[in-house]
Amino acid sequence: MRFIVKVSSESFIKSRPVRNWHLDRLKRNVAKVLRVIDKKVQVRGHSDRLEIDCEEAAASACLQRLGDVPGIHSILTVDSAFLPSENTLEFLAEKAVDYYADTIEGKSFVVRCRRVGKHAFGSLDVERHVGAVLFQASKNSQVKLKYPDVTVSIEILRDKAYFVRDKKLGLGGYPIGTQGTVLSLISGGFDSSVASYQMMRRGCRVDYLFFNLGGPAHSLGAQQAALYLWQKFGYSHSARFYSVSLDALVANLMQRSSPSLNGVLLKRAMMRVGDVIANKSKVSALVTGESLAQVSSQTLINLSVIDKAADKLVIRPLIATDKSDIMQTAETIGSAVFARNMVEYCGVISKKPTVAASLPELEEAEQAMGDAWFYQALDSVEKVSVADIINHVNEQPQVELETEVSDQLVIDIRAVEVSLEQSDLHIPFYQLNKKFPSLDQDKNYLLYCDKGVMSQLHAAYLHELGFDNVKVYRPVQ
């Protein structure tokens, strides 16, 4: 099977050296992603496009993965042929009849030709000749230049013709690796996940920084979100996941007699720690999912004083985006199902938070708290490759693992039910938290998922709610 991948319009309008660099970077990204599916896949670069050959059996999976690779404008499924030296228009018309005559039967159609190179004919000549032959060869069809039912697309690149069988739009943006590396403050919720995706779509390699305010379940949820985003959109490059404990800071904030500044103080603390990690890992900028005025800490005044805690550039790709649009994007990219199951931990935020914190007041409060919390936070930093999250979670489980089933009931929590011989119940993970309390609590349960991350996450969360009759099922492979 052959695909033609066209680079995004934003890359195409760059100068030739930059365009060539983007195309080469995209070629390497695509090759790395597709070779997981088809080890023999071939990826070749030509001008403004990539030409990809893969096994027929892998075509559907390859097409789906290409749709998640940043930097791609469109993916064309094509048949190709070398142009003969003579009777070229007749050759193109004959091929078009073979490919499209049945498709346009009883429908309106138009022929469009895009041509690169020197030929004895023009694009308009191809459109006219092929259109006339197709009209004669098909039944009850009609030519319609505007808004036809079918567009017959023929692309000619020098001595080769490509007959487009299908077209799928890509993500657009820039190839990952062309715009540097950023450190995204991720919570696992809607906003931070979408912000991370937006930065990958703009060509950035994304590392993840998580501040643990809610225990094991919170950490596992953030790791699951980072893993999903990396596997889907950022797989062409390595990524790191940093986890930081702010227990000492939270203890200080909870003892303050005037808590109205706590939300801003917490965000400034995150920026301060993130700045150090970004410098050590040579990252260009920090990224947050903040949107203007969405919560009290996100007013213009508060965002301004928050930024002053870091020397690094702070990027907020969602700054002017409505919450409903953010949630819709999360649904589109698939992160919403994880975000809906994340618990918000806002215990340090006061009931009457300030919307206009002053920098002198914040600095006075920070001086009173001292720096002990800061050094404890830096000492707590844990780093793991996102690719190793699954192994890391299963090597250091938060909830006891069982490799065999005795008198427990196995709950398959995968989103789609797939045959599992030992399964007693199928409750998708996004329904588990609501449905589990209604189960017979005199029985013991084992949660199962493919990788072990989601089962660990939900078992840990159920433990926090007081359900101690839950473990994780990890059968011996």
Helix (H, G, I), strand (E, B) or coil at 181: strand
Environment class of 360 (CB within 10 Å of its CB; exposed 0-12, middle 13-18, buried 19+): exposed
Distances (CA, A) of 127 to 92, 130, 159, 226: 10, 5, 18, 48
Q: What values do phi and psi take at 205, rounded to 5?
A: -80, 130
Angle between helical axes of 262-280 and 372-379 (0-180°, round to 10)? 50
Instruction: Record the tokens describing residue 274, joined without a space.
Output: 């993130």
Q: Contact, 61 vs 37, CB < 8 A? A: yes
Alpha-carbon distance 91 to 114, whole Å?
17
Instruction: Record the tokens describing residue 165, joined without a space.
Output: 């069988």
Amino acid at 379: D
Instruction: Record the tokens describing residue 240, joined without a space.
Output: 């790191």
Task: Name the residue among 436, 472, 364 with its Cα closest to residue 427.
Answer: 436
Beta bridge partner(s), residue 151: 110
Q: Contact, 131 vs 97, CB < 8 A? A: no
Alpha-carbon distance 129 to 346, whole Å?
68
Angle between helical axes of 247-254 and 262-280 (0-180°, round to 10)? 160
Contacts of 455 (CB under 8 A, 6+ apart): 413, 447, 448, 449, 472, 473
Tell me, rounded to whole angstroms, the distance of Cα 126 from its chain centroid.
Answer: 40
Catalytic residue among 54, 62, 113, 449: 449
Place of tokens 């928050």: 306
Alpha-carbon distance 271 to 146, whole Å?
54
CB atoms within 10 A of CB 31: 16
In the annotation, is 54 catalytic? Answer: no
Instruction: Record the tokens describing residue 358, joined without a space.
Output: 């002053």
Q: Contact, 233 vs 68, CB < 8 A? A: yes
Alpha-carbon distance 458 to 454, whole Å?
6
Tell me the chain's radius of gyration from C-alpha atoms: 27
What residue spans of 35-106 are helical by DSSP H?
59-66, 88-100
Q: What residues are labeled active site? A: 449
